[in-house]
């Protein structure tokens, strides 16, 4: 599992090195999902709406493959409530989006209002400290390791009494990740063994989730 975790991190970073994220988005859900399965399902709906909007596609099936469109890496992150209940919210790293938005306000307006008003489970609150949508420019020093640092913090809190594992979750099916790069021959597919290991890890918990 350790080698799988290392491979997954490299897989994420390989994509980010070729397409540096430009925006970091935090999403809260109004049903306070207690499972990453539920949070991932909400994310899939929002993600599809975003991609169709910026790509001009009418249906998800008409969307071009990444990197011929906006790219997203999604994480489902835990929060422990005051009474000990664990809920999940979502972080999105957006890349390959040059010229789409000039400011965080433009992207916020798109997600919160133009698209968000059609997303039933999106928290509509704009109250400071409890905003349903928060958009920030991606800063490498802070956001490259943001979810990975949080993983280490959560490990120390022993959350296994609420969930099956104590790692943060990369939302595999809702993320756009490039094949690993060969140092001498450019892009190539993941080896069959590595690809199978990653996908097996995903399916062992849920089709849309893998661990980092």
pLDDT at 1: 52
pLDDT at 3: 57
83 — pLDDT class (breaks 50, 70, 90): confident
92 — pLDDT class (breaks 50, 70, 90): very high
Helix locations, the chain, DSSP H = 2-18, 36-55, 104-109, 140-143, 146-155, 192-205
Q: How large is the average pLDDT for residues 60-64?
A: 95
pLDDT at 126: 93
Q: How large is the average pLDDT for residues 25-45?
A: 97
pLDDT at 4: 56
pTM of the model: 0.78
25 — pLDDT class (breaks 50, 70, 90): very high
* DSSP-derived secondary structure for 103-133: SHHHHHHIIIIIIGGG-TTB----STTS-SE
Q: How large is the average pLDDT for residues 196-202?
A: 52
What does pLDDT average to over the chain?
80
Give every CB contact of residue 55 below 8 A, 6+ residues apart in sequence. 62, 63, 64, 69, 70
pLDDT at 162: 36
The tokens 């991932």 sit on which residue? Answer: 40
pLDDT at 80: 84
pLDDT at 188: 42
């Amino acid at each position: 599992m350790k080698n799988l975790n290392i491979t997954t991190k490299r897989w994420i970073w390989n994509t980010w090195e070729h397409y540096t994220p430009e925006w970091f988005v935090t999403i809260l859900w109004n049903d306070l999902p207690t499972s990453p399965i539920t949070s991932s399902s909400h994310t899939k709906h929002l993600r599809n709406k975003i991609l169709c909007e910026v790509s001009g596609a009418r249906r998800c099936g008409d969307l071009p493959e990444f990197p011929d469109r906006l790219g997203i890496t999604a994480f489902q992150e835990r929060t422990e409530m005051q009474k000990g209940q664990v809920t999940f919210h979502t972080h999105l790293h957006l890349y390959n989006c040059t010229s789409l938005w000039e400011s965080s306000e433009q992207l916020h307006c798109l997600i919160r209002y133009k698209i968000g008003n059609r997303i039933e489970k999106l928290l509509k609150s704009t109250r400071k400290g409890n905003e349903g949508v928060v958009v920030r420019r991606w800063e490498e020093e802070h956001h490259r390791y943001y979810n990975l640092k949080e993983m280490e913090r959560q490990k120390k809190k022993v959350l296994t009494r609420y969930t099956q594992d104590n790692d943060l979750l990369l939302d595999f099916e809702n993320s756009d990740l490039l094949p690993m790069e060969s140092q001498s021959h450019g892009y190539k597919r993941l080896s069959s063994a590595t690809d199978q290991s990653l996908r097996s890890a995903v399916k062992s918990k849920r089709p849309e989730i893998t661990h980092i």
